[in-house]
Structure 1
Amino acid sequence: MEYPSIKQFLANTSVYPVLGKALTLENTAQLDFSPSNERLRTVDLSNTEAFNFFVFDELRKQGKAFGIGGYFEHRAIYSRSQVFATAAEDFRDIHMGIDIWAAPLTPLFAPLDGVIHSFQDNAGFGNYGPTIILEHEINDQKLYTLYGHLCLEDLRDIHTGQVIKAGEKIAHIGPFPENGDWPPHLHFQLMWDMMGNWGDFPGVCSHREQEKFQAICPDPAYLIPFLI
């Protein structure tokens, strides 16, 4: 199926930054979780406190409030959880969204008008934890935005079909372990097609599926925005 480019979809549409502010070189560090980062080999990634220290120590050293990276990045950090081992020959380690690493309880905002499509707590070590998916429609084309690793409290008092306006606070970056037991960050992902999913959508794919999912999941940077 042919999908529009995200730039075409957003033409003549105002976008509210998901973090409430644009991410820039002044406030943001690029974090590398690919196999080429040899420093990762010194970290016990199965220990969330150790992993958390690694991430936020890097931000402290660089004097940055946010870390960012990961759109279709080949990652070395998913060995920490069996969530990603769908089959021995088809391990999922290609990250399909963007991660924004920031302090727990950092507020998050809707980038576009829309409605709540679905939400749930995808509990389990290494999973999304609390997750909200919004549905947006412009010129009869739908786009879905996924927010993973939230606070459990964010799932209270919301309902599917709830109208959300651009710039409305929708959630917060969750602390571990309630966020799926990750160092605090937002997993932010776009999907043209939910593929029958509800309250969840794969955030990581195998190398074999990369081309398929890259067509379905456009670059979220245009909705953060980050140096676009």
Structure 2
Amino acid sequence: MTIKVFSQLLSDLGDQSLYVLDPAISKSDYIALDLSKTNKTLDTIDVSSSETLEQYIHSHIIKNNAKVAYGGYLETRNIYQRSSYFKDTNPETERNIHLGLDLWVAVETPIFTPLDAEVHSFKNNTNHGDYGPTIILKHIIEDFQFYTLYGHLSVASIEHLKLGQAFKKGEQIATLGDSSVNGDYAPHLHFQMIKDVQDYVGDYPGVCSKLDLEFYKGNCLDPELLLRLNSINT
């Protein structure tokens, strides 16, 4: 299936009511958040501190009378430079381009699958700046198979999971973790769509380099195709 056809399939799915957070949270309660390196406000805060970044995000949510901040697909970010897992002195190979959608919301927030699914894999990715507990779900739509990844979860979310476990659309799959388990970030969900998960198990790159961007843009399409959040701020 070509990228164009896959994009259209996801876009058609997005015409339905799909969500990964509580559907009782109105779309009007979401606010876009810019964490790119072009946001000069971030130059004035210590983004290496999960507590400081959480305060900044919480203030942004409160100031906009919102409940959830979202964004980040293909954002080039400086916040990963704090971690040796990402940092690289070569700007072409430094992994700093974000491949998923982040939903910044309170710890222990329930997470739901937007589509019928089964568990492909799960893992606690414990590197500093990594996902922490992570679930990858497999979906089959019109005989086409693809995957969604959920990162920065609570440890309890993966304690009793089983490979191949089935979930129905809208069923809760997890809760969010805090900075002590989620890679040392402010609480948020990293949600990513993946065409081909390759040989990864419980993990898949969520941040890439400029050198690898074209491949990952084709393999990890914009979650906006499913969740339709940008329409609320336009």
The TM-score bracket by the shorter chain reads over 0.9
- Measured after TM superposition, the shift of residue 23 of structure 1 is 5.7
- Please give the per-residue CA displacement for 1:61-101, whole angstroms capped at 9, x wherever unaligned: 22211001111111121112111136635101111000000
The answer to whether 1:8 aligns with 2:16 is no
What is the aligned partner in structure 2 of residue 30 from structure 1?
A: 32
The answer to whether 1:153 aligns with 2:156 is yes
When residues 87 and 193 of structure 1 are mapped into structure 2, their CA distance, relative to the original with a 3 A threshold, is: farther
Of stretches 31-40 and 84-93 in structure 1, the one that deviates more from structure 2 is 84-93
Of 43, 46, 49, which aligns to 1:44?
46
- Please give the per-residue CA displacement for 1:33-64, whole angstroms capped at 9, x wherever unaligned: 11211111111122211121111122112221
When residues 11 and 45 of structure 1 are mapped into structure 2, their CA distance, relative to the original with a 3 A threshold, is: closer
When residues 122 and 111 of structure 1 are mapped into structure 2, their CA distance, relative to the original with a 3 A threshold, is: same
Percent identical pairs in the alignment equals 39
When residues 17 and 188 of structure 1 are mapped into structure 2, their CA distance, relative to the original with a 3 A threshold, is: same
Of stretches 162-171 and 172-181 in structure 1, the one that deviates more from structure 2 is 172-181
- Measured after TM superposition, the shift of residue 125 of structure 1 is 1.6
The equivalences for 1:137-216 within 5 A come to 137-216=140-219
Distance 1:178 1:47 in 2: 15
Distance 2:62 2:11 in 1: 34
SS at match of 2:85: helix
Distance 2:207 2:131 in 1: 11
Give 5+ residue unaligned stretches, structure 2.
none
The answer as to whether partners of 1:9 and 1:138 remain within 8 angstroms in 2 is no
Of stretches 5-14 and 173-182 in structure 1, the one that deviates more from structure 2 is 5-14
Aligned residue pairs total: 227
What is the aligned partner in structure 1 of residue 64 from structure 2?
A: 62
Distance 2:89 2:203 in 1: 20
Of stretches 15-24 and 74-83 in structure 1, the one that deviates more from structure 2 is 15-24
The answer as to whether partners of 2:154 and 2:176 remain within 8 angstroms in 1 is yes
What is the aligned partner in structure 2 of residue 114 from structure 1?
A: 117
Of stretches 138-147 and 182-191 in structure 1, the one that deviates more from structure 2 is 138-147
The answer to whether 1:222 aligns with 2:234 is no
The alignment's TM-score, normalised by the length of structure 1, stands at: 0.92
Give 5+ residue unaligned stretches, structure 1.
none
Distance 1:67 1:104 in 2: 13
- Measured after TM superposition, the shift of residue 187 of structure 1 is 0.3
Distance 1:138 1:151 in 2: 28
The answer as to whether partners of 2:48 and 2:79 remain within 8 angstroms in 1 is no
Return the letter of the residue paired with 1:8.
Answer: L
SS at match of 1:93: strand
- Measured after TM superposition, the shift of residue 9 of structure 1 is 4.5
Considering only aligned residues, what root-mean-square deviation do their CA atoms show, in Å?
1.9
The answer as to whether partners of 1:23 and 1:226 remain within 8 angstroms in 2 is no
Return the letter of the residue paired with 1:68.
Answer: Y
The alignment's TM-score, normalised by the length of structure 2, stands at: 0.90
Distance 1:177 1:108 in 2: 19
